[in-house]
Amino acid sequence: MVVIGHRGASAYAPEHTFAAWDLALELGADYLEQDLQMTKDGVLVVLHDDSLDRTTGGAFRGRVIDSHLAEIRDCDIGSWFNDARPARADPRFAYQRIATLDEVFARYAGRACFYVETKNPEEAPGMEEALLSLLDTHGLRAPAALEWRVLIQSFSESSLRKIHTMDPSLPLIRLLDGRFAARRSIERDLATIAEYAVGIGPSHLDVNGRLVEAAARHCLSVHPYTVNDPAVMRRMIDAGVDGMFTDAPDLLLALRPPEEPRGRSATAAAAQRYRDCRG
């Protein structure tokens, strides 16, 4: 079961900052997550929202896609966390800045695995090409294909199919909208998803043992989002999921048996299970 640091260790540090990714890695997360946005000048930056309104506390207004990197480069995206969670506040968070994906890969490529999401790809033509180019720049394309050291996820089927056409060897995860009654709908879509993806990312609200078993019949891994309650984590483990997203990696790691593989060993094992399943 792989442990995915959702936007880093975002329960304890401002999301999508080096502080959050450093901490997630220190805690032992197998994957560090990055949500991608593209600037007006075509640079991939790591942010969840399409604007900076929330994570700058309103100091910046407007969409990332309408801004050049130089215009948003020095935005403070950490101070809001100190205001929102005073018990976790740290003066160093006030100095956190927007990271480009290039910088993230450069900092962690030798010691971490990545879980990258194409956000709003229809509004950012060329996002997929830019992502694959950065994989090549940092020598990550082959490790992604062979050992799943990079997983690429999206709610956009068209974005994933585009990447699959560009390189069928890359492991892709189809994100699924959370709906309480969505399980049967998801099950009906599994065969189609398996044409281009190696796994699904449903809301934990939609996950039970039946869904996991149905996905396994199509050789699809199941990585639900976003699980921060240990009781729900246990329920997901009992259902047989292959991993999960969490803001608090330490809570999930405490439930993982010590004999299970971790880090690159865990991701390589998952990749091998997929190849064995597909024959």
Radius of gyration, CA atoms only, the chain: 18
Can you state the angle between helices 209-217 and 230-239, rounded to 10 degrees? Answer: 40
* Residue 48 annotated to the active site: yes
* Residue 6 annotated to the active site: yes
Residue 196 corresponds to which tokens in the numbers above?
């281009």
- Rounded Cα distance, 253 and 100, in Å: 28
Nearest to 26 by CA among 40, 13, 45, 44: 13
* Cα 136 from chain centroid (whole Å): 19
Cβ neighbours, 10 Å, residue 57: 17
> Distance between terminal CA atoms of the chain?
22
Nearest to 62 by CA among 33, 35, 40, 36: 40
Q: At 49, which amino acid appears?
A: D
- Which of the residues 16, 48, 218, 223 is marked catalytic? 48
- Which of the residues 6, 16, 218, 223 is marked catalytic? 6
Catalytic positions, please? 6, 48
